[in-house]
Amino acid sequence: WDYGYQITGIGRRTSLADGNTWNHEHIATIGKTLTSPEKKAWNTIRHLADYVLVWAGGHGDDLAKSPHLARIGNSVFPDHCGDDDPKCNRFGFFSDESPTPMMAKSLLYKLVANGVKPGVTVSEALFQEVHTTQNGLMRIYKVQNISEESKAWIADPNNRVCDAPGSWYCVGQYPPALEKLISRRINFAQLEDFNKGTASKSAYTRMIEKERAGAKGEL
């Protein structure tokens, strides 16, 4: 989502998120999708987008950022990495810079490393590479077999939630095909909300509370 403004302003395409996207649950959904196995990710993306853009080439590329995407995804989808791994440490690199099994299977890793790292390829039945810049820093893939039904549903103005009749501010909704995925989300409690009593807290929330309590004890 770092490139949302450029995609919209330069590419004249709608992006799923940009630097002003404040909906944590939505950002987490994107993070979870990109860091999920290729086929599983495609099952979601085909209902949301026509293309996927990744920044490659090392030196702060999308793979360097990807552990953060996995952690954000896990903060809303606790089963992504599991309650026993709230920081999603199983998604990342080993000391020899090789990917962990979870990362190696992920869509993001395959899109960035496709044809560059030995043995890494992306299924052309799911994602077809349509553009790569001269030095391979930006790669764009076309999503194959997109859901025309979901695309039409999203484009229908009747499926947008406006704050007032005729308003320009209308929030989109996820297509019905993703209802099962979206229903699994657990709303993320921001740090300033951690003191509110809740019947159930995620492993991530409990970890942050424990770290904060430890930090106070050291003062």
Angle (CA) 73 180 199, round 5° = 65
Tokens of 189: 């409690």
DSSP states of 88-150 as a string?
-TTSSB-TTSPBPHHHHHBHHHHHHHTTTSTT----TTTEEEEEE-TTSSEEEEEESS--HHH
Q: Would you state the pLDDT for residue 1?
A: 57
212/193 Cα distance (integer angstroms): 13
Q: What is the mean pLDDT of the chain?
A: 87
Asked whether the predicted pLDDT for residue 217 surpasses 70, the reply is no
Confidence tier at 29 by pLDDT (50, 70, 90): very high
pLDDT tens digits, 61-116: 899 999 999 999 998 898 999 888 988 999 999 999 899 999 999 999 999 999 99
- What pLDDT score was predicted for residue 192? 44
Say how far residue 215 (Cα) sits from the centre of its chain: 30
Which range of 49-58, 98-107, 206-215 scores highest in mean pLDDT? It is 98-107
Coil vs helix vs strand at 172? coil
Stretch 18-46: mean pLDDT: 93
pLDDT digits (tens, 9 = 90+) for 141-178: 999 999 999 999 999 988 988 888 888 888 889 999 99
Residues in the chain: 219
Q: What is the largest CA-CA distance in the chain?
A: 57
Q: Mean pLDDT over residues 22-37, rounded? A: 93
Q: Span 119-127, mean pLDDT? A: 97
**Confidence (pTM):** 0.86
Segment 170-209, tens digit of pLDDT? 888 999 999 999 999 988 765 445 555 555 666 777 777 7
